[in-house]
Chain A
């Protein structure tokens, strides 16, 4: 059993390392802030702040996997957020219509980048640097007359600030706790246990190697316990936020597409060896369009979440988002050489990154030191990555 544990740890050290790092960071901040960091209120805030970077990091992961980079998404998000705000404030559009418009424009912008990269052969760094300048200018242009555009739309503002209403709130137990959150958390834990057992059964039916029953129990108990804690903490404040729901849906969809579908596998093959992928009948151009299109879509979503969070579109919205997203993807294990990187990893990377910011803010550390610590964390993650990869060869 211990041997099996060691083997599992060794095989997955890269992946588990990140979870351990997140855990350690959180533990340290909990100690240094005397528990404020792990309080329900702060965790809820942390998740809502991570949201707009997390969705960018998800898209950026795929861009990095196919050996490209997208520097334009920060200001693209800011610009599209402003367009959404104008649609609601000046044109009188409804919230959902504005959201739809922003997402569609995001896809169009992403496909435009893909056109430059895949069809015209312009290096993505240069093409998206041009985009960075253009979208920055565009953002300033549309906010030129008005300055900050205030958004007065309940639906839209709820996306970044609101919470899922507690439908079970009237029940007479556990006063002050968000009971719908508890119920959802419980359902998630049950689904997790069910799917683990089902996977094991299918694998056994195929005579594949599986974890021993004891090891699996340990794994299930451990992860279920962590899920319990998270649920409890969230339920202690206002419950699940709409941002968490949105990010969750994005992660589930992207994780499914990248790990379970033909499209996902083709993306990783293109990243691992574009020539071999092309000779295997995969259109590298098509994949490039899909990946940049998705990046644009998520940039739009990021812009919505950020504008909604501030309840306004500002002239500096989106500044440096792209670099935070890139850092999150690299902390999450993406490789600049291409072909490697997981969506779930990047989400954890984004959490690590934003935890550092949030924790240091709570501790009252000044911004100059914060940048240095964040830079050191990025370097440490990549050094860890490189050394574990080398160790396995």
Chain B
């Protein structure tokens, strides 16, 4: 086939304490669609960040050859100049600007010192035609659906004479029709000679579109499969992606689950004004049980958890929820906490912790009233409570007066868990409890979870790491595109089955 346009050789990238990429090699031939697959955390995004210059030259080791010459990218603008464009999951468009302004943003066409708007609009229309988008270029971007926004983003990349187009999970947020459109567009671009790298979790579309597939696992290249030789099949991909056996990083627990149902959600749907977020989800949670919610990122698991936890996003909800047999209609997180539900957010820094406050203030935040007499906080008792959790959860901090923002990710997570333990809920929802923390801290979190269910708490664990779901859950629910794709008793759950269900809708 053609000569390679891109060659990445022995790329190694370490973050403090974590080796994200270890001697990864990645080769893309000119004019092909090359898919990059792997589990969450396998290193796909890191590899693309190295390529696009987000992680600049010098922060990694190894060589990048583009069009046969060695490149040392110092930043995104640098990689853009040689013709590499990356389209991220979160779109980088300005919602309050028109489509044509967005397409030429940063590369405005000038006449003298002013912008030549006529030429801009002409050029933008041309690009829109190229991506098969039939709309008025003066439309505001915020008035477009996600699928069309994605196409605008591609048009923007094309306007810059792109040679290598990288799409990072472009279809994650798209519905079926939009996905189909996008894949057809990629096919068209291939015919025009544009090389594409596609990162995707949806194996069906990978199989449909890819010329070659490279599989990453744990920061290493597993293999590159060639579609022309018939190597790209669903079973082959899943086998290579999952690859390993679950080792014993999951502590055993003595089973004490009872048949008492503490939480029952039935026919649960959530909508925003624009779209449907959750559709007809039903599940149950028993006392002393851990249920796992598996699925891809963006499949609706976090939205489900938050809609149960007092619905702070203000979705329009339908369906019924019973907590310990009592029908509940929870209007705010505060009501949810009173009803015995707690939710430890996936986004610790964004909405889980108050980073500028200290450890003790974060631990007691959700239940300060327990430490107060007539509204006055007993600050000595507070320090004592915090020190208790510091010891029990082995939070590594010089003192409970340490600012939480200065702790490591694992210890922040423990503070977040401690906060909810102090509330002592019946149902604890842990959203990605081990994201971004190292193996040792993971083991400790798992041990804490086991102790909690042994004491009769019930846990809903949302996780994108399949080994964790399989190692910790009593039952597994798989969510896909806002629907429940299925329920699996742990004995029947394997990574392959879950993957298949998660990519089904």
Contacts and interface: CB of A to CB of B under 8 A. Distances in A.
A282 interface: yes
A255 to B, nearest CB: 13
Contact of A279 (B345, B375, B383, B399): B345
B334 A261 contact: no
B365 interface: yes
Chain B interface size band reads 20 to 34
Contact of B354 (A203, A206, A277, A393): A277
Interface in A200-215: 202-203, 206, 208-209
A340 B312 contact: no
A268 B357 contact: yes
A104 B39 CA distance: 61
Contacts of A263: 375
A339 B365 contact: no
A66 to B, nearest CB: 13
A260 B378 CA distance: 8
B368 to A, nearest CB: 5
Looking at A203, A266, A273, A278, the one whose CB has the most chain B CB atoms below 10 A away is: A273
Contact of A260 (B338, B365, B376, B399): B376
Interface string B365-399: 11011001001110110011000000000000001
Contacts of B366: 280-281
B333 A208 contact: no
Contacts of A339: 354, 356-357
Instruction: Determine the main DSSP class of B at the interface with A.
Output: helix
Interface string A258-287: 001111011011001101111111110000
Nearest to B347: A275
A276 B353 contact: yes
B419 interface: yes
B337 A281 contact: yes
A261 B380 contact: no
Contact of B357 (A261, A269, A281): A269
A275 B352 CA distance: 8
B105 to A, nearest CB: 25
Contact of B380 (A208, A276, A280, A340): A208
Given A260-B376, A260-B379, A276 B369 contact: no
Given A280-B419, A281-B332, A281-B338, 7 more contacts: A269-B357, A275-B350, A275-B351, A279-B345, A281-B334, A282-B334, A393-B406
Interface of B: 309, 312, 332-334, 336-338, 343, 345, 350-357, 361, 365-366, 368-369, 372, 375-377, 379-380, 383-384, 399, 406, 419
19 contacts: A206-B384, A208-B380, A208-B383, A260-B376, A261-B375, A261-B376, A262-B368, A262-B369, A265-B361, A265-B365, A266-B368, A273-B353, A276-B353, A278-B333, A278-B351, A280-B365, A281-B332, A281-B337, A281-B338
